[in-house]
């Protein structure tokens, strides 16, 4: 029983620190005093089963995790993996947003210099393929490569649309260019089946 009490004390302390929480903050969540939390962490007393369940919910672990002695490393690894995944998503979104920011900046500067709306809106058209290229790069490095086929498909159609819209600006009809897109889409779909894992 003493071992369980010590395990609970150690795990509460480490989980609280891992979640960047003070004893006071944890106490407020549980409607207890910080002195009680301190006693739990020093193994002078232990929370009852209903409080242990509440603690498990707060820290996102199972009740079994709180009473075992060999689990904190698993929680730390899982916490770091979630943190890394969140950071990678944030970096990816910031990089993608950078493409749109450059387009907005170019639009503003050009409009201020020329004082007349002519071609500036094309910056946003050109920004889309650039953003999709950035998305493709980050997805290939950090995320699910199976989604690359969708991104490549969107990239291909955005490039064709960019070419079409650019020529439209010069009053040249190149709408037949979308036939290349149809052929390219077939190739992309067929390519997606080449590396498809075989079912066991």
Q: Please report, for the chain, the start and end positions of each structural domain, with discontinuous segments joined by +.
A: 2-70, 74-194
Interatomic CA distance for residues 200 and 197, integer angstroms: 9
CATH classification for the domain delimited by 2-70, as one of 1.10.1060.10, 2.60.40.10, 1.10.260.40, 1.10.730.10 = 1.10.260.40
Residue 126: the pLDDT is: 94
Residue 83: the pLDDT is: 63
Residue 79: the pLDDT is: 57
Q: Are 142 and 192 in contact (CB under 8 A)?
A: no
Neighbours of 43 (CB within 10 A): 17
Q: Are 138 and 98 in contact (CB under 8 A)?
A: no
Contacts of 116 (CB under 8 A, 6+ apart): none
Low-confidence ranges of the chain (pLDDT < 50): 197-200
Residue 60: the pLDDT is: 84
Residue 70: the pLDDT is: 61
Q: Are 59 and 19 in contact (CB under 8 A)?
A: yes
What 26-34 contacts at long range (C-beta under 8 Å, 24+ apart), as own/partner pairs, is 26/58, 29/58, 30/54, 30/55, 30/58
Residue 198: the pLDDT is: 42
Residue 160: the pLDDT is: 94
Residue 38: the pLDDT is: 92
């Amino acid at each position: 029983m003493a071992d369980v009490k010590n395990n609970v004390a150690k795990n509460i302390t480490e989980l609280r620190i891992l979640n960047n929480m003070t004893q006071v903050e944890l106490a407020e969540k549980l409607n207890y005093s910080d002195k009680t939390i301190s006693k739990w962490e020093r193994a002078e007393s232990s929370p009852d089963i209903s409080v242990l369940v509440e603690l498990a919910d707060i820290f996102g672990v199972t009740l079994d995790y709180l009473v075992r002695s060999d689990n904190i490393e698993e929680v730390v690894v899982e916490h770091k993996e979630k943190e890394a995944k969140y950071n990678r998503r944030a970096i990816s979104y910031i990089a993608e947003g950078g493409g749109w920011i450059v387009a907005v900046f170019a639009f503003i500067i050009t409009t201020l210099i020329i004082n007349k709306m002519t071609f500036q809106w094309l910056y946003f058209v050109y920004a889309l393929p650039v953003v999709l290229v950035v998305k493709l790069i980050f997805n290939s490095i950090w995320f699910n490569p199976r989604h690359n086929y969708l991104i490549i498909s969107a990239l291909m159609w955005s490039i064709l649309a960019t070419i079409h819209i650019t020529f439209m600006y010069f009053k040249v009809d190149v709408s037949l260019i979308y036939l290349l897109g149809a052929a390219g889409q077939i190739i992309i779909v067929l390519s997606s089946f080449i590396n498809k894992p075989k079912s066991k």
